[in-house]
């Protein structure tokens, strides 16, 4: 019996359609214009000391499935509001991610429109966003913190999109500051950076944004392409140590691209397709496919004995963006409860993934130093009011990520047998 058979409830009637649910007063965000960010009441989580005792649920064995999927990019129709993640006219209930709009490239080639230069480019990111998180990791891994500046938007996403903090706001994390670009002193939202580059822009105002301070233009807002840019195009300016870090090595490119064919759609985007689904059918279809893909990653990591990374001894972009540290480090703190991705959690249900993820976090500063759990938890639980209308942020799990040598009680007990 597979996951779908085990978990699909027997229905006696059709689930209420999204159009009916959206009419309930509780779901309405109310008002118009910019949604006010909830107050940033701090609940600081500590990794020090022993973890609180968690429910002793034994881990489930990884199962084998055949997953059917498509990786074709689909351009989403513009919804009624920025915070409507599924087009209200789309009866499928499926979340369809927008195709990135700015696709220029920084290049070492002679005569390039955007050549690699020190302090010419700026990276706008959100600590909450896994797609932006990819680029922060690559920037730090490659030593580009000395060449490319960055700033972080406020964790709350409102009706006007991502906003910058004000001078008086003090949010946790490095470089959470007002727009630092000269000439942008009056900019309050990231959308103004988009309109500066394209006055007729009509899509979502997404992060990351790689921005050219010289021409006052967005170079690229596609995270996978920014990752490749950071991976190689500044190498001539780097010291030997950082030039030698190759996250897209030629010998593994076929394997990396093969992993991309299924991991992006089913895992990275799969959590969003599960969480933003507006019909039970769309949710169940996507969440089952997500866990089938996680089972596949677990099997690969369990059988791979050559080293701590997805491809053994070599750290690649698969560890950053595909098998995907940036998705899986958010899984237990957010996606299990907020996106209903709760067939299993990582810490008790996927021991190989759990060990791989913790190795990256605790042993590589580029991963740990760019992971900001407060922004992550506050953003999802207080911005997605169609999912969590009261904007209450769950306290657990505690800690957000376990120490390397510590396991939840159920896993610890099973290993002692």
**CA separation for the pair 317, 297 (Å, rounded):** 15
> Tokens at residue 182, please?
């000269």
Residues 161 and 204: beta-carbon distance below 8 Å: yes
- What burial letters (b/e) apply to 210-241, b meaning 16+ CB within 10 Å? bbbbeeebbbbbbbbbbbbbbbbbbeebbeee
Return d(Cα 90, Cα 82) in angstroms, integer. 15
CA separation for the pair 155, 165 (Å, rounded): 9
Using CB atoms within 10 Å of the CB of residue 65, give its burial: 0 to 12 exposed, 13 to 18 middle, 19+ buried. Answer: middle
Is 372:329 a contact under the CB 8 Å cutoff? no
Q: Which of 123, 129, 282, 294 is catalytic?
A: 129
Residue 81 DSSP label = S
98/266 Cα distance (integer angstroms): 16
**Cis previous bond, 249, omega within 30:** no
DSSP assignments along 305-365, one per residue: -S-SBTBBTB--HIIIIIS-HHHHTTIIIIIHHHS---S--HHHH-HHHHHHHHHHHHH-H
- Write the CB contacts of 235 (distance below 8 Å, at least 6 apart in sequence): 108, 243
Q: What are phi and psi of 305, to 5 degrees?
A: -110, 5
Active-site annotation holds for 341: no
List residues with catalytic annotation: 129
């Amino acid at each position: 019996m597979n996951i779908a058979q085990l978990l699909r409830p027997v229905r006696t009637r059709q689930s209420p359609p999204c159009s009916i649910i959206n009419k309930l007063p509780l779901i309405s965000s109310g008002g118009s214009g910019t949604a006010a960010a909830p107050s940033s009441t701090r609940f600081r989580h500590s990794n020090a000391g022993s973890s609180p005792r968690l429910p002793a649920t034994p881990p489930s064995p990884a199962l084998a499935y055949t997953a059917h999927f498509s990786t074709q990019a689909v351009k989403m129709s513009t919804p009624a509001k920025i915070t409507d993640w599924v087009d209200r006219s789309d009866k499928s209930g499926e979340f369809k991610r927008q195709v990135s709009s700015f696709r220029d490239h920084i290049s070492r080639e002679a005569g390039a429109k955007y050549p690699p230069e020190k302090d010419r480019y700026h990276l706008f990111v959100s600590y909450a966003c896994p797609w932006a998180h990819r680029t922060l990791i690559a920037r730090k891994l490659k030593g580009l913190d000395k060449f490319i500046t960055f700033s972080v938007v406020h964790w709350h996403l409102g009706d006007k999109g991502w906003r910058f903090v004000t001078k008086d706001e003090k949010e946790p994390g490095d470089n959470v500051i007002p727009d630092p670009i000269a000439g942008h002193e009056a900019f309050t939202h990231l959308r103004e950076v988009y309109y500066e580059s394209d006055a007729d822009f009509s899509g979502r105002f997404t992060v990351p944004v790689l921005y050219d301070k010289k021409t006052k233009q967005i170079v690229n807002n596609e995270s996978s392409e920014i990752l490749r840019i950071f991976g190689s195009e500044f190498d001539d300016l780097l010291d030997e140590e950082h030039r030698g870090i190759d996250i897209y090595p030629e010998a593994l490119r076929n394997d990396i691209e093969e992993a991309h064919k299924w991991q992006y759609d089913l895992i990275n985007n799969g959590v969003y397709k599960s969480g933003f689904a507006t019909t039970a059918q769309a949710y169940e279809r996507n969440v089952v496919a997500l866990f089938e893909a996680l089972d596949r990653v677990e099997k690969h990591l369990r059988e791979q004995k050559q080293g701590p990374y997805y491809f053994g001894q070599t750290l690649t972009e698969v560890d950053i963006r595909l098998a995907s540290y940036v998705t899986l480090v958010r899984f237990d703190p957010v996606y299990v409860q907020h996106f209903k991705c709760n067939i299993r959690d990582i810490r008790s249900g996927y021991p190989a993934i759990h060990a791989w993820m913790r190795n990256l976090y605790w042993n590589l500063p580029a991963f740990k130093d760019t992971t900001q759990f407060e922004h992550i938890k506050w953003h999802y639980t207080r911005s997605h009011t169609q999912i969590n209308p009261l904007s209450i942020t769950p306290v657990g799990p505690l800690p957000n990520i376990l120490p390397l040598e510590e396991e939840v009680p159920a896993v610890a007990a099973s290993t002692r047998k």
